[in-house]
Amino acid sequence: MAIGVTNVPERSKSSGSIINDPQVRGIFYQAITIIILAALIYWIVDNTVDNLRRANIASGYDFLRSRAGFDVGQSLISFTSDSTYGRALLVGFINTLLVAITGIITATIIGFLVGIGRLSHNWIIAKLSLAYVEVFRNIPPLLVIFFWYSGVLSILPQARDALALPFDIFLSNRGVAFPRPVAGEGAEYTLLAFIIAIAASVFFTRYARQRQLATGERLPVLWTVLGLIIGLPLITFLVTGAPIGFDVPVAGKFNLTGGSVVGPEFMSLFLALSFYTAAFIAEIVRAGIRGVSKGQTEAAHALGIRPSLTTRLVVVPQAMRIIIPPLTSQYLNLTKNSSLAVAIGYADLVAVGGTILNQTGQSIEVVSIWLIVYLSLSLATSLFMNWYNARMALVER
């Protein structure tokens, strides 16, 4: 770039008046814009503060330390009505994260399958995938959520006549209840074995790659890693005498008691967001794969590389470069769409924040917290995906 700058003819000095100087003019317009923006922000803030005072509305973030007084149905961390508003927001934030992360994982898996399905030579698979994409892409996400929620509610039996599935899993309109493992004495060894297995797997994978680079010999990485991660904890578990019990759900007077329950609110939101976003991801994946020049495949075949390896080593790495940027947008959309939870009573950040907003009347404060949290979530997702994109980008040598 440095070369480019020195080559530019010095226009600014040749023109006589300073008013005609494009550089000066540029700075002038930018300064005007900034001044107007600053004045606008000042006016809004000043007006707000002034009017809040005039309307006798208490403001500030002190309310976050007050006792909440209400209960939250779904919480991953302990929460009672004695906890603070701040903790209630944290509960909502964790619930948002939970549905966003699980939704993103599931949507990615379904999306990739359907996207590849659309390119399948099998007529039925291709047409089914097409139908899936067109149906879910063209329905508003809120309707998809209602479809799952109302569908689930009206079809499933009451809690007392819960549908008993194998392994003590019960299905009812109160959600899915399943046995919760309760760690007994010595259970920590199994966990330890699991962590060791993961560390060993990482180590072995690196070693195998170095070995292949050095000698060309390929080690059975997949099987070794699977064996380590499943086998080692399993053996430890059996050797220490299977120290895990289960808290099995049993029918109580109103609900099933004991075990763990995944409520219908979470299930319907999770399913709806996954299915909805997967339709978009499918199209992105198809575009990405189509975007790789046919010459690449033909060249790989000409070199005698097997079709499965061609897909894995030639097509997909190049397709990923096209897929990742729009995929990031879909992840952000899914996270933001999770705020539709409020329609079905899932205790996400917006739902809990709304309750707090109502109990305390601190609308501006709560809305500002929403804005900051969603902005941070989106920026964090973007940063991660940009990092991943940079890793996957074509390395120019």
Partner 1 sequence: MARTILTALVSAAVMGVGSYAASAATLDDVKAKGFVQCGVNTGLAGFAAPNASGDWSGFDVDYCKAIAAAVFGDATKVKYTPLSAKERFPALQSGEVDVLARNTTWSINRDTALGFNFRPVNYYDGQGFMVRKELDVKSALELSGAAVCVQTGTTTELNLADYFKANNLQYNPVVFEKLEEVNAAYDAGRCDVYTTDQSGLYSLRLTLSKPDDHIVLPEIISKEPLAPAVRQGDDQWFDIVSWVHYALVQAEEFGVTQANVEEMKKSANPDVQRFLGVEADSKIGTDLGLTNEWAVNIVKAVGNYGEVFDRNIGAGSPLKIERGLNALWNKGGLQYAPPVR
Binding stretches for partner 1 (CB under 8 A): 44, 47-48, 51-52, 54-58, 69-73, 80-82, 150, 153-154, 158-159, 173-174, 252-255, 257, 264-265, 339, 342-345, 347, 350-351, 354-355, 357-361, 363-364, 366-367, 370
Closest CA to 349 of 331, 371, 332: 371
Residue 257 is classified by DSSP as: E
Nearer to partner 1, 179 or 345 (CB): 345
What is the closest distance, in whole angstroms, from the C-beta atom of residue 79 to partner 1 in the complex?
11
What is the closest distance, in whole angstroms, from the C-beta atom of residue 252 to partner 1 in the complex?
5
What is the closest distance, in whole angstroms, from the C-beta atom of residue 72 to partner 1 in the complex?
7
Q: What's the first-to-final CA gap in the chain, in angstroms? A: 20
Number of helices and strands (H, E) in the chain? 15, 8
Q: Which residue has the tokens 């006016």?
A: 43
Nearer to partner 1, 104 or 347 (CB): 347
Q: Which residues contact 172 (CB under 8 A, 6 or more apart)?
A: 156, 157, 158, 159, 161, 162, 163, 256
**What token pair was written down for 243?**
């120290």
Distance CA 67, CA 70 (A): 9
Distance CA 173, CA 147 (A): 14
Nearer to partner 1, 14 or 154 (CB): 154
What is the closest distance, in whole angstroms, from the C-beta atom of residue 331 to partner 1 in the complex?
22
CB 331 within 8 A of CB 284: no
What is the closest distance, in whole angstroms, from the C-beta atom of residue 78 to partner 1 in the complex?
14
What is the closest distance, in whole angstroms, from the C-beta atom of residue 276 to partner 1 in the complex?
18
Nearer to partner 1, 84 or 311 (CB): 84
Nearer to partner 1, 40 or 199 (CB): 40
Nearer to partner 1, 72 or 193 (CB): 72
CB 64 within 8 A of CB 353: no
